[in-house]
């Protein structure tokens, strides 16, 4: 597969999932994260790197760091490494190639087909799995959608919203501005809430997907003279089970009353194509993770501009 040109319409709650294998396990990654899929290439080792980092390689003038996904997940490999595949990705403003055993196919799905993992899986894997896709009938394939942001964060904390990054957030004056967050990653959801709290936003509600957030937002239609008294700002990821952030944003902006609520899309996959989609669904602002400092300033700006 060359560089992906799959572009889905904005706000349709659809996604493309690439199914790949490590040993006997089936995993998935959003195609929006993938630049290219290639075979084995020559790697240069990096001294004192993380144990799961195999090295780096140069492709078309761009340096990519290689992560052995089997080693990270503590799984047995399947067959010879000479037949391995590299998933070249771009997200969180980082260029990373993940080594996997094989690639199977691309599935065109709705986010409603992606179920959230139960608490047992989340606790044991520390939020490693963000969703489970069931392909086919009752005996179909189960695909685990991995939290690649967390994988990257564990290997290189500076690529994410880390406690170290939070130290640079200025202590803000306490305010009661109601903010709603939709973020499926357990790690990022907690870090977002903690970061906003430090910045002075002490009235924050966090949800795990767009569907859960939408049900709360709809309640603003009753009992409030201004819907922004219920939620003065919504911050949403794009990739989430049940309902993605683009669909959530479109539903808010298409509603005559709720459309007054400013929406900030905060995602690891803000690129040229997805940036256009964010604009099409009416987002008031869009930021690429992990720009948490910029997010705090952005909240103030969009709230002031919509008052």
pLDDT tens sequence across 113-169: 898 887 555 544 456 888 899 887 666 788 999 989 889 888 887 666 555 555 556
What is the rounded CA–CA span in Å between residue 202 and residue 183? 18
H/E stretch holding 142: strand 141-146
In the prediction, which pLDDT does 208 show? 92
Q: What is the mean pLDDT of residues 295-300?
A: 87
> What share of the chain has pLDDT > 90, as a percent?
48
In the prediction, which pLDDT does 5 show? 41
pLDDT category at 4 given cuts 50, 70, 90 is: very low
In the prediction, which pLDDT does 1 show? 41
Instruction: Give the distance, in angstroms, between the CA of residue 214 and the centroid of all CA atoms in the same chain.
Output: 18
pLDDT digits (tens, 9 = 90+) for 17-43: 999 999 888 999 999 999 999 987 889
pLDDT category at 7 given cuts 50, 70, 90 is: very low
Lowest mean pLDDT among 44-58, 84-98, 120-134, 225-239: 120-134
| 156 three-class SS | coil
Tokens at 113, concatenated: 């087909």
In the prediction, which pLDDT does 199 show? 85
Tokens at 53, concatenated: 């980092």
Decide if 132 contacts 120 (C-beta within 8 A): no
What is the rounded CA–CA span in Å between residue 195 and residue 164? 11
Edge-to-edge strand order for the sheet containing 62-68?
A: 34-38, 85-91, 94-100, 62-68, 53-59
What is the rounded CA–CA span in Å between residue 150 and residue 98? 14
The DSSP call for residue 204 is E
Tokens at 231, concatenated: 């939620």
The DSSP bridge pattern shows strands 34-38 and 85-91 to be: antiparallel
In the prediction, which pLDDT does 122 show? 52
Question: Tokens 């009752």 sit at which residue?
Answer: 138
In CATH terms, the fold of domain 14-157 is OB fold (Dihydrolipoamide Acetyltransferase, E2P) (2.40.50)
- Phi–psi pair at 97, nearest 5 degrees: -110, 125
Instruction: Give the distance, in angstroms, between the CA of residue 290 and the centroid of all CA atoms in the same chain.
Output: 11
Query: Does residue 284 have a pLDDT over 90?
Result: yes
Q: Do domains 14-157 and 160-305 have the same CATH topology?
A: no
In CATH terms, the fold of domain 160-305 is Rossmann fold (3.40.50)
Query: Does residue 51 have a pLDDT over 90?
Result: yes
Query: Does residue 184 have a pLDDT over 70?
Result: yes
As a residue count, the chain comes to 307
H/E stretch holding 108: strand 102-110
The DSSP call for residue 201 is B
What is the rounded CA–CA span in Å between residue 79 and residue 211? 41
Domain ranges of the chain: 14-157, 160-305
Query: Does residue 190 have a pLDDT over 90?
Result: no
Cβ neighbourhood burial of 241 (10 Å; 0-12, 13-18, 19+): buried
What is the rounded CA–CA span in Å between residue 88 and residue 31? 11
Q: What is the mean pLDDT of residues 232-241?
A: 94
In the prediction, which pLDDT does 124 show? 44
């Amino acid at each position: 597969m060359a560089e992906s040109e799959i572009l889905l319409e904005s706000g349709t709650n659809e996604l493309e999932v690439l199914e790949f294998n490590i040993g006997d396990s089936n995993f998935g990654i959003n195609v929006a994260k993938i630049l290219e899929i290639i075979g084995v290439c020559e790697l240069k080792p990096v001294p004192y790197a993380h144990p799961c980092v195999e090295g780096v390689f140069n492709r078309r003038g761009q340096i990519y760091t290689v992560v052995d996904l089997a080693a990270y997940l503590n799984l047995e490999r399947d067959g010879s490494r000479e037949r391995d595949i590299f998933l070249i990705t771009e997200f969180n403003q980082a260029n990373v190639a993940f080594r996997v055993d094989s690639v199977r196919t691309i599935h065109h799905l709705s986010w409603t087909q992606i179920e959230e993992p139960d608490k047992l899986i989340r606790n044991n894997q520390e939020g490693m799995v963000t969703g489970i896709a069931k392909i086919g009938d009752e005996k179909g394939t189960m695909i685990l959608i991995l939290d690649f942001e967390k994988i990257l964060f564990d290997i290189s904390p500076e690529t994410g919203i880390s406690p170290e990054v939070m130290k640079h957030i200025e202590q803000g004056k306490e305010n009661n501005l109601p903010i709603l967050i939709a973020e499926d990653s357990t790690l990022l959801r907690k870090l977002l809430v903690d970061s906003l709290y430090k910045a002075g936003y002490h009235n924050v509600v966090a949800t795990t997907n767009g569907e859960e957030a939408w049900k709360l937002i709809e309640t603003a239609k009753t009992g409030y003279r201004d819907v922004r008294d219920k939620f003065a700002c919504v911050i949403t990821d794009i990739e989430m089970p049940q309902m993605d952030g683009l669909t959530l944003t479109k539903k808010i902006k298409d509603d005559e009353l709720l459309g007054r609520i400013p929406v900030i899309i905060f995602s690891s996959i803000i690129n040229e194509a997805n940036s256009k989609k964010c604009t099409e669904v009416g987002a008031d602002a869009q930021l690429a993770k992990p720009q948490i400092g910029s997010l705090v300033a952005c909240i103030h700006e969009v709230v002031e501009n919509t008052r």
